[in-house]
Amino acid sequence: MILHLLRPLHSLSSSTRTFKRALSSKIVPTAAEALKDVAFSGAKICVGGFGCCGIPETLINELARMKHVDGLTAVSNNAGIDGFGLGVLLESGQVKRMISSYVGENKTFEKLYLTGQLEVELTPQGSLAARLYAGGAGIPAFFTPTAAGTVIAKGGFPIKYKGDGSGEVEIESKPREVREFNGREFVMEEAITGDFSIVKAWKGDTRGNLVFRGTARNFNPECAKASKVCIAEVEEIVEAGELGPDEIHLPGIYVKKMILSKDNTKHIEKLTEGADENSGKGIIDGPRGRIVRRAAKEFKDGMYVNLGIGIPTMASNYIPEGVKIELQSENGLLGIGPYPKKGEADADWINAGKETVTTTIGASTFSSSDSFGMVRGGHVDLTILGGLECSRNGDLANWIIPGKMVKGMGGAMDLVGAPGARVVVTMDHISKNGSAKIMEECTLPLTGQQVVDRIITDLCVFDCDKEGGGGLTLVEIAPGVTVEEIRAKTACDFKIASEPLPLMDDA
């Protein structure tokens, strides 16, 4: 049959021509046509994309016009932003429940959730990718180290608040099964499958094979695989055979229907451009500058490093001379380069903080499940991320303030929970109201239990004996700061490594 398909169409038999037409029937003229027999009220829908990057805009906008389709459960890493992406479905009231990892950029989402109008299952980003992958692969459940010891594993997280303004919880999450393997706790996660999926690709051929571009791949392959019916929108449709077999990122077996994308706004959430060398921008002074410069000294030549949003990302501007590292981003990029020059930003190339980036020589892109396979598999040497609270035994809290701040954990739980991971936390030593952020036990919901190796603040550096339970040891101190001041601003005991202590700026 393969040989027959290589012949000119006029030389084929009637039955073979029928077969060829059937293979080409995945192309549908409009989004409305593609969705009309697929979308229904109460459906679970898997939506590709990371932030606003690689989202199926055309299909989302068409769903928003189908007002009779409501009560949806949307499975997506993010919830869009106000007025764009999945944000339009939230505003139209068509979504009943969101299953996501990070929703920090959507004020509508936050309001709906806190007022009891939206059900929310916050799931660690790597676990979400793996659950979708498992759903597409016929794996009912799996065990992961991510979220062990947290509210995600223990249950009790508010999925839905009562709508009377009381702040009381109407639905809370159930405990997950936890087992021990090789002396560590692992959490059971169940696979996710959808009634249908909508995804976005760069190119597609008439057989449904897809090619993604840059970091716009992210969750799209996992979402496509997790449903029996996947509708893909693509920027360019080509004939079968124009894409080489080795070029194809997602085989057409996973794609039921395909449309040409009509809405390609490609909104950039955080347009970030490199500073002119003579502008002086990018230089960080003061207490936070001290944290950034000290964090950069954690880099060792040849390391693969993941940097969190904010101060950790800034540390990449201060890599010590003679040290080469490779930056890994959870959304599917290894080899993050500098910010683009003014006017050269590309919406298909972003980091995990949604900032526009470039790539280094030898960079590679991959899907979200592959990205977190690198993390859980111990292939990332160092993770630096921010914190709201740290405890003396290495617990970290950095993802939510119950009833006030609803952002989600993103990939943080996966990064800190990976076996063998070295985790460095950067943060101000005290909060804006003067309260301690380093304490005996965290008061906020944990990101990870006994996961922190080192804490770098504007006042000092602590090492943490996360495995042995030996608590904190003060190893460096900022110029002009005394041990007595650090004791007064730290709500737990700690040891001192040596006297006199090395200065942070000289370490």
Query: Can you give the three-state secondary structure of 217-242, one letter per residue?
Result: CCCHHHHHHCECCEEEEEEEEECCCC
pLDDT band per the 50, 70, 90 thresholds, residue 285: confident
Which residues fall within 8 angstroms of residue 505, CB to CB, at 6 or more apart?
290, 293, 294, 478, 479
- pLDDT at residue 16 in the model: 41
pLDDT at residue 505 tops 90: no
Mean of per-residue pLDDT scores for the chain: 93
- pLDDT at residue 14 in the model: 44
Containing H/E element for 321? none
Is residue 180 exposed (0-12), middle (13-18) or buried (19+ Cβ within 10 Å)? exposed
Distance between CA atoms of 486 and 494, rounded to whole angstroms? Answer: 10
Q: Mean pLDDT over residues 379-386, rounded? A: 97
Rounded to the nearest angstrom, the gap between the alpha carbon of residue 334 and the centroid of all alpha carbons in its chain is 14
Least confident of 97-111, 327-341, 372-386: 97-111
CA 364 to each of CA 221, 291, 367: distance values in angstroms, whole numbers, following the listed order: 16, 30, 11
pLDDT at residue 338 tops 80: yes
- pLDDT at residue 499 in the model: 85
Specify whether the CB–CB gap between 67 and 362 falls below 8 A. no
- pLDDT at residue 283 in the model: 66
Q: Mean pLDDT over residues 272-288, rounded? A: 71
Q: Say which residue the tokens 């590709």 belong to.
A: 48
Burial 83-116 (b: 16+ CB within 10 A, else e): ebbbbbbbbeebbbbbbbbbbbbbebbbebbbeb
Segment 95-152, tens digit of pLDDT: 999 999 998 888 899 899 999 999 999 999 999 999 999 999 999 999 999 999 999 9
Segment 460-503, tens digit of pLDDT: 999 999 988 899 999 999 999 999 999 999 999 999 998 899 99
pLDDT at residue 281 tops 80: no
Is residue 240 exposed (0-12), middle (13-18) or buried (19+ Cβ within 10 Å)? middle
- pLDDT at residue 200 in the model: 98
Distance between CA atoms of 362 and 358, rounded to whole angstroms? Answer: 12
Coil vs helix vs strand at 369: helix
Q: Mean pLDDT over residues 435-463, rounded? A: 97
- pLDDT at residue 23 in the model: 53
Identify which has the larger pLDDT, 2 or 64. Answer: 64
pLDDT at residue 184 tops 90: yes
Return the percentage of the chain with pLDDT > 90, whole number. Answer: 87
Distance between CA atoms of 142 and 226, rounded to whole angstroms? Answer: 15
Q: Say which residue the tokens 């290894």 belong to.
A: 334
DSSP secondary structure of 404-466:
TEE---TTHHHHHHSTT-EEEEE--SB-TTS-BSEESS-SSPPSBSS--SEEE-SSEEEEEET
Q: What does the DSSP 8-state code read for residue 194?
A: B
pLDDT at residue 259 tops 70: yes
Q: Which amino acid is at 365?
A: T
Distance between CA atoms of 243 and 207, rounded to whole angstroms? Answer: 10
- pLDDT at residue 8 in the model: 39
Helices (H), 268-419: 286-296, 311-314, 368-376, 412-417
- pLDDT at residue 105 in the model: 80
Q: Which amino acid is at 243?
A: L
**Helices and strands: H and E segment counts in the chain:** 14, 28
Coil vs helix vs strand at 292: helix
pLDDT band per the 50, 70, 90 thresholds, residue 507: low
Coil vs helix vs strand at 90: helix
DSSP secondary structure of 247-259:
T-SB-GGG-SEEE
Closest CA to 133 of 75, 90, 204, 94: 75
Q: For the chain, first and last CA: distance in Å? A: 69
- pLDDT at residue 25 in the model: 74
The catalytic residue among 330, 355, 389, 476 is 330
- pLDDT at residue 282 in the model: 56
Distance between CA atoms of 74 and 96, rounded to whole angstroms? Answer: 8
Q: Is 321 a catalytic residue?
A: no
pTM of the shown model? 0.93
- pLDDT at residue 506 in the model: 67
Distance between CA atoms of 268 and 348, rounded to whole angstroms? Answer: 9
Which residues fall within 8 angstroms of residue 354, CB to CB, at 6 or more apart?
51, 52, 53, 105, 269, 270
